[in-house]
Amino acid sequence: MEKYIDLMDLVRLGHEVHQQNPLSRFLRLTEDLPEQTDENQVSWSIKGHQKPHGPALVKLSITANPRLQCQRCMKLFNYDVASEVELQVVTSERAFNADVSESGEIDNDAYEKILANKPVDMLALVEDELILSLPYIPKHDICPELAEMPEDNLEKRPSPFAVLEKLKH
Protein backbone atom coordinates (compact mmCIF):
# COMPACT_ATOMS: atom_id res chain seq x y z
CA MET A 1 0.00 0.00 0.00
CA GLU A 2 1.27 3.39 -0.92
CA LYS A 3 1.84 5.92 1.81
CA TYR A 4 0.40 8.73 -0.36
CA ILE A 5 -3.15 8.71 -1.74
CA ASP A 6 -4.79 10.99 -4.28
CA LEU A 7 -7.98 11.79 -2.40
CA MET A 8 -9.75 13.21 -5.45
CA ASP A 9 -9.26 9.86 -7.23
CA LEU A 10 -10.53 8.09 -4.12
CA VAL A 11 -13.71 10.22 -4.22
CA ARG A 12 -14.15 10.00 -7.99
CA LEU A 13 -13.87 6.20 -7.96
CA GLY A 14 -15.70 5.71 -4.65
CA HIS A 15 -12.88 3.50 -3.35
CA GLU A 16 -12.00 2.54 0.19
CA VAL A 17 -8.53 1.82 1.59
CA HIS A 18 -7.88 -0.17 4.79
CA GLN A 19 -4.57 -0.47 6.59
CA GLN A 20 -3.07 -1.46 9.91
CA ASN A 21 0.19 -0.02 11.26
CA PRO A 22 2.10 -0.41 14.52
CA LEU A 23 1.59 2.57 16.81
CA SER A 24 5.35 2.93 17.12
CA ARG A 25 5.43 4.07 13.47
CA PHE A 26 3.73 7.34 14.45
CA LEU A 27 6.74 9.17 15.90
CA ARG A 28 5.11 12.54 16.67
CA LEU A 29 2.35 10.77 18.58
CA THR A 30 4.56 8.41 20.57
CA GLU A 31 7.40 10.80 21.46
CA ASP A 32 5.65 11.84 24.69
CA LEU A 33 3.88 8.54 25.40
CA PRO A 34 5.13 5.55 27.39
CA GLU A 35 6.81 2.81 25.38
CA GLN A 36 4.30 1.03 23.17
CA THR A 37 4.20 -2.73 22.66
CA ASP A 38 3.89 -4.62 19.39
CA GLU A 39 0.25 -5.25 20.30
CA ASN A 40 -0.50 -1.52 20.02
CA GLN A 41 -1.79 -1.29 16.46
CA VAL A 42 -3.62 1.42 14.57
CA SER A 43 -6.33 0.29 12.17
CA TRP A 44 -7.63 2.87 9.77
CA SER A 45 -9.74 3.17 6.67
CA ILE A 46 -10.61 5.99 4.34
CA LYS A 47 -13.49 5.98 1.90
CA GLY A 48 -14.26 8.52 -0.80
CA HIS A 49 -17.83 9.43 -1.78
CA GLN A 50 -19.78 12.20 -3.39
CA LYS A 51 -23.51 12.83 -3.64
CA PRO A 52 -24.81 14.28 -6.91
CA HIS A 53 -24.00 18.00 -6.96
CA GLY A 54 -22.51 17.70 -3.48
CA PRO A 55 -19.01 18.22 -2.13
CA ALA A 56 -16.24 15.64 -2.52
CA LEU A 57 -15.98 13.86 0.84
CA VAL A 58 -13.79 11.28 2.52
CA LYS A 59 -14.65 9.43 5.70
CA LEU A 60 -11.63 8.58 7.86
CA SER A 61 -12.14 5.92 10.55
CA ILE A 62 -9.44 5.08 13.09
CA THR A 63 -9.25 2.59 15.94
CA ALA A 64 -6.25 2.30 18.24
CA ASN A 65 -5.36 1.31 21.77
CA PRO A 66 -2.28 3.31 22.85
CA ARG A 67 -0.73 2.92 26.29
CA LEU A 68 -1.00 6.07 28.37
CA GLN A 69 0.04 6.94 31.90
CA CYS A 70 -2.76 7.82 34.30
CA GLN A 71 -2.06 11.20 35.87
CA ARG A 72 -3.81 10.24 39.13
CA CYS A 73 -2.23 6.90 40.01
CA MET A 74 0.71 7.02 37.53
CA LYS A 75 -0.05 3.48 36.27
CA LEU A 76 -0.08 2.55 32.59
CA PHE A 77 -3.38 1.75 30.91
CA ASN A 78 -4.67 1.22 27.38
CA TYR A 79 -6.89 3.99 26.05
CA ASP A 80 -9.44 3.03 23.40
CA VAL A 81 -9.58 5.39 20.43
CA ALA A 82 -12.45 5.07 17.97
CA SER A 83 -12.50 8.14 15.79
CA GLU A 84 -14.53 8.88 12.71
CA VAL A 85 -14.32 12.14 10.80
CA GLU A 86 -15.76 13.27 7.50
CA LEU A 87 -13.66 15.74 5.53
CA GLN A 88 -14.44 17.77 2.46
CA VAL A 89 -11.73 17.37 -0.17
CA VAL A 90 -10.77 20.66 -1.83
CA THR A 91 -8.03 21.33 -4.35
CA SER A 92 -7.34 25.06 -3.90
CA GLU A 93 -6.43 27.43 -1.09
CA ARG A 94 -9.43 29.58 -2.04
CA ALA A 95 -11.86 26.69 -1.57
CA PHE A 96 -10.06 25.71 1.65
CA ASN A 97 -10.65 29.18 3.12
CA ALA A 98 -14.16 29.66 1.68
CA ASP A 99 -15.86 29.21 5.07
CA VAL A 100 -13.89 32.00 6.75
CA SER A 101 -15.46 35.45 6.61
CA GLU A 102 -13.44 38.64 6.16
CA SER A 103 -13.68 39.23 9.91
CA GLY A 104 -12.06 35.82 10.53
CA GLU A 105 -15.17 34.00 11.75
CA ILE A 106 -15.52 30.36 10.71
CA ASP A 107 -18.79 28.78 9.57
CA ASN A 108 -19.24 26.06 12.20
CA ASP A 109 -21.79 24.17 10.08
CA ALA A 110 -19.33 23.58 7.25
CA TYR A 111 -17.36 20.37 6.81
CA GLU A 112 -13.80 20.23 8.04
CA LYS A 113 -11.64 20.48 4.95
CA ILE A 114 -8.49 18.90 3.66
CA LEU A 115 -6.39 20.43 0.93
CA ALA A 116 -5.67 17.69 -1.58
CA ASN A 117 -4.02 19.45 -4.52
CA LYS A 118 -1.40 16.67 -4.46
CA PRO A 119 -1.36 13.13 -3.02
CA VAL A 120 -1.87 13.18 0.77
CA ASP A 121 0.47 11.49 3.26
CA MET A 122 -2.05 9.16 4.87
CA LEU A 123 0.09 8.23 7.87
CA ALA A 124 0.49 11.93 8.72
CA LEU A 125 -3.28 12.44 8.40
CA VAL A 126 -4.02 9.43 10.62
CA GLU A 127 -1.41 10.59 13.13
CA ASP A 128 -2.96 14.08 13.29
CA GLU A 129 -6.37 12.60 14.02
CA LEU A 130 -4.91 10.28 16.67
CA ILE A 131 -3.18 13.18 18.41
CA LEU A 132 -6.48 15.08 18.48
CA SER A 133 -8.28 12.00 19.88
CA LEU A 134 -6.07 11.57 22.97
CA PRO A 135 -7.08 13.21 26.24
CA TYR A 136 -5.06 16.22 27.37
CA ILE A 137 -4.78 14.70 30.85
CA PRO A 138 -5.00 10.90 30.58
CA LYS A 139 -6.55 9.09 33.53
CA HIS A 140 -8.53 5.98 34.37
CA ASP A 141 -12.26 6.38 34.82
CA ILE A 142 -11.66 4.77 38.21
CA CYS A 143 -8.07 4.12 39.22
CA PRO A 144 -7.67 0.46 40.27
CA GLU A 145 -5.59 1.27 43.35
CA LEU A 146 -7.78 4.19 44.41
CA ALA A 147 -11.07 2.36 43.84
CA GLU A 148 -11.20 0.96 47.37
CA MET A 149 -9.55 3.14 49.96
CA PRO A 150 -8.94 1.68 53.44
CA GLU A 151 -11.32 4.25 54.99
CA ASP A 152 -14.12 2.75 52.94
CA ASN A 153 -13.92 -0.45 54.99
CA LEU A 154 -14.10 1.25 58.37
CA GLU A 155 -17.26 0.91 60.38
CA LYS A 156 -19.47 3.95 59.95
CA ARG A 157 -20.28 5.79 63.18
CA PRO A 158 -23.83 6.97 63.64
CA SER A 159 -24.43 10.61 62.97
CA PRO A 160 -24.83 12.78 66.09
CA PHE A 161 -27.97 14.15 64.44
CA ALA A 162 -29.60 10.71 64.31
CA VAL A 163 -31.02 11.40 67.81
CA LEU A 164 -32.74 14.53 66.49
CA GLU A 165 -34.25 12.49 63.66
CA LYS A 166 -35.91 10.21 66.25
CA LEU A 167 -37.39 13.22 68.08
CA LYS A 168 -39.08 14.33 64.86
CA HIS A 169 -41.44 11.34 64.85
pLDDT at residue 106 is higher than 80: no
Q: What is the mean pLDDT of the chain?
A: 85
pTM of the model: 0.77
8 Å CB contact between 55 and 88: yes
Q: Which residues, listed in sequence order, are joined to residue 89 by a DSSP beta bridge?
A: 114
Q: Which of 91, 84, 64, 94 is nearest to 10 (CA)?
A: 91
pLDDT at residue 3 is higher than 90: no
Q: Which of 65, 68, 70, 64 is nearest to 34 (CA)?
A: 68
pLDDT at residue 94 is higher than 70: yes
Q: pLDDT tens digits for 4-40?
A: 999 999 999 999 999 999 998 999 999 989 998 878 8
Q: Read off the pLDDT band of 44 (50, 70, 90).
A: very high
Quote the DSSP letter at residue 97: T
For the chain, give the percent of residues with pLDDT over 70: 85
DSSP per-residue letters across 21-70 = EEGGG-HHHHTTSPPPPTT-EEEEEEEEEE-TTS-EEEEEEEEE--EEE-
| Cα dist from 82 to 29, 45, 163, whole Å | 16, 12, 54
Q: Which of 146, 127, 131, 130 is nearest to 70 (CA)?
A: 146
| Beta-strand relationship, 41-50 and 56-64 | antiparallel
